[in-house]
Structure 1
């Protein structure tokens, strides 16, 4: 069963891509005491993720913060090195990149997806959420192949 509004995020180890290299973080610690706009992509450097999803959050960063978001974060079933390179190539340094290399976070949320048909294995569904002190306030999960409700514009309209 997928996570819902009002649910507490599961406490899973993620790896944050930082300029100094990968840094292990517990999700419970990362999301504690702040409002986070979190979005998930099936994969860094993939077409929709690179052309639309990440750029939208980069463009709307100031508006999201003005609407009360303390931090914007992206998660993907990629390793921290790949997310770090993706961040750097898109000048997305203000977005926290949270690697879910084994897909444990996506699975614990009930938002994992089978991308075996594309040769990508198990990944995360595309979604966005507002997390306030570890509690889901908003969640928007895309239908397979869609990109609309997980966009920065849509999430901004919910704040």
Structure 2
């Protein structure tokens, strides 16, 4: 995707806590649209190959979680982590990571990921279709900046990480803030 491109309209199948349900698993299905997540907000979206995977769980997600306060000072309203995983997996990953600042978005069927051109095969790892690693600054549903890891391809032998790291996005946000007219 390139700056100025509007995000595709997609409906995400999420699981949300509803204490009225009771029991050990008080969650219900809730459809959330692209507009619900992005309209009227300036957000950082990052996507990764899979919940509970090493780079994603050790560096990328915790890095964004820790960077929220600093990004918020630079005009970011929310940080979203998207993966081609279902709502059950994404919720358990958020719980395991003790997330307070990052909202997870399940793209279980890969529809959004496919429409933004980032769906790749990872059959060499037994993953099937997954997202290539990227990040973006999105303003009111329109791409403001795009950070894609190099070498996007199916069954990639490598898992590059750096271009979509929170430090890279933070650097861009700081530079964009400095270059804004007074």
Q: Would you say same fold, with TM above 0.5?
A: yes
> What is the Cα-based RMSD across aligned positions, in Å?
1.2
Compare relative contact order (CA 8 Å, sep 6+) and give the higher one, 1 or 2: 1
Superposed counterparts of 1:6-25, under 5 Å: 6-20=4-18, 21=27, 22-25=29-32
User: Where does structure 1 lack aligned partners over 5 or more consecutive residues?
Assistant: none
Which of 162, 167, 172 lines up with 1:153 in the alignment? 167
Runs of 4+ in 1 over 2 A off after TM superposition: 15-23
Contact 2:65/2:99, CA 8 A, preserved across alignment? yes
For residue 143 of structure 2, give the secondary structure of its aligned residue in structure 1. Answer: strand
Please tell me whether Structure 1 or Structure 2 has the larger radius of gyration of its CA atoms. 2
Contact 1:8/1:134, CA 8 A, preserved across alignment? yes
Deviation at 1:23, TM superposition (A): 2.5
Which of 112, 118, 122 lines up with 2:125 in the alignment? 118
* TM-score, structure 1 normalization: 0.94
Where does residue 51 of structure 2 map in the other structure?
44
* TM-score, structure 2 normalization: 0.82
Contact 1:10/1:28, CA 8 A, preserved across alignment? no
